[in-house]
Structure formats: C-alpha cells, structure tokens
Amino acid sequence: MMRVQRIAVYLLLFTSVSLSHLSAALSQTSATSATQETEAQRDGQHDFDFEIGTWEIHLSRLQDRLVGSKTWVKFDGTSVTRKVWDGRGNFEEFETDSPTGHIEGLTLRVYNPQTHQWSIYWANSKDPALGQAIQPMVGEFKNGVGEFYDQELWKGRSVYVRFIWSKITPNSAHFEQSFSDDGGKTWEVNWITDQTRVNAESGKTGNSTNR
C-alpha cells in the first residue's frame, strides 16, 4: 500500500513539474514571438524619401465639401521638398494657381521611431486660424500605400480626415484627401494631386502639403 502511495506521489510531482516546465516554455515562446514581432516591425523613416526634390503639381479640388458637390476646380503649380533630420523629417513648400484662386502651403512631416508612424502638419497661407496649434495627420505606409488620419472641424462639424499616398514611382505620385462625417463609414474625396518630378538638369524651379 505504501509503495502504491509513493508511486502516486511521484506521478503527481512529475506531472506538476512537467506542467510547470510546459507553462514556462509556452510563456517563453510567447515572449520570444512578441519580441520578434516588435523587432520585425518595419522602419518607415525613409517612406517619404520619394518626395524629396522638385515637382510639377496637377491638383483637382472639390468646390465644396460634404454637400454633394460634383464641381472640381483645377490647379497647376510646383512643390519643393527638402530632407531634414537625416531623413526622419521633411519640409515641403507648395504653390498652385487656377483661374479662380491661388494656394500656398507648407507641410512638415516627422517620423517617430518608437511608434513607427509619421505625423504630418499642413498650413495654408490663407487659413484664418494660421498661427494656432496644428492638429497633425498620423499614420504609416503599408505595402507601398500611406494612410494618415485625424479628426477636425469643418464648418463647425466634427469630421474625420484621411490622406492617402499611392501609385508611387521614382518620378510620380498620387495623393488624395477625403472627409467623412459619418464616423468613417463613407468617405468623400475632395482633393486629388498628381505630381511629376522635375529633373534637376531641366533648370525648372518652383516655390513651394486640412488642405
């Protein structure tokens, strides 16, 4: 009888130790996976390197926003983007004209290596709130497409704002701004920019991104 009891105790201890080792192994595997996932998170500090340089800009801007407008106003101009902070930021001067108006803007983009996200600050020279704190668009690039979001006021109403950069090549890029007044369920595009790089040897220059 005593022998049976000892065997039972040994089995119980063996099972407890085995389960303890198994739990520790699973915890270690989970921690290792989490570490590997963090280490594998891509470094996006060069995602906006394509923007560095001088560009010809072709802009289409919706005449009014979130009222069902179908009228687009065309602008043409230039932008110049310069690298700062060894690529962890860049500064863009933007200027376009149309028969109905003129747009001058400045964009500062800065990269956060801890969150792996970009913050984008845009200022329009005609903005009545110029000089006040600017709400940044925040986001990142995935599979060659950059998406950035924030929440702003438009005509007194709170709306979501989205920037999308896509169709990026060494000499061209496509940009869209959209608003949503239903919490992101639907989006209305109100600003479309297609840009083409100006070669340095051509001698062309330009002054120079919610828009």
Residue type, 37: E
Instruction: Tell me: do 65 and 127 sit in the same domain.
Output: yes
Let me know if residue 208 belongs to a domain.
Answer: no
Instruction: Tell me: do 23 and 115 sit in the same domain.
Output: no
Regions of the chain with pLDDT less than 70: 1-40, 200-210
3-state secondary structure of 187: coil
Residue 28's pLDDT is: 53
Instruction: Tell me: do 30 and 104 sit in the same domain.
Output: no
Read off the DSSP letter of residue 40.
H
3-state secondary structure of 2: helix
Closest CA to 161 of 180, 186, 146: 180
Asked if residues 59 and 74 have their Cβ atoms less than 8 Å apart, the reply is yes
Cα-Cα-Cα-Cα torsion 201, 204, 209, 211, nearest 10 degrees, comes to: -150
Residue 136's pLDDT is: 97
| CA–CA separation, 109 and 176 (whole Å) | 16
pTM of the model: 0.76
How far from each other are the two terminal CA atoms of the chain, in whole angstroms?
86
Read off the DSSP letter of residue 44.
-
Residue 26's pLDDT is: 39
Question: Structurally, how many domains does the chain consist of?
Answer: 2
Residue 23's pLDDT is: 45
Instruction: Tell me: do 6 and 57 sit in the same domain.
Output: no
As given in the structure block, the two tokens for residue 140 are 């990142």
- State which residues form the domain around 22: 1-40
Residue 13's pLDDT is: 33
- Contacts of range 185-191, beta carbons closer than 8 Å, 24 or more positions apart: 187/162, 188/62, 188/65, 188/66, 189/62, 190/61, 190/62, 190/65, 191/59, 191/60, 191/61, 191/62
Let me know if residue 165 belongs to a domain.
Answer: yes
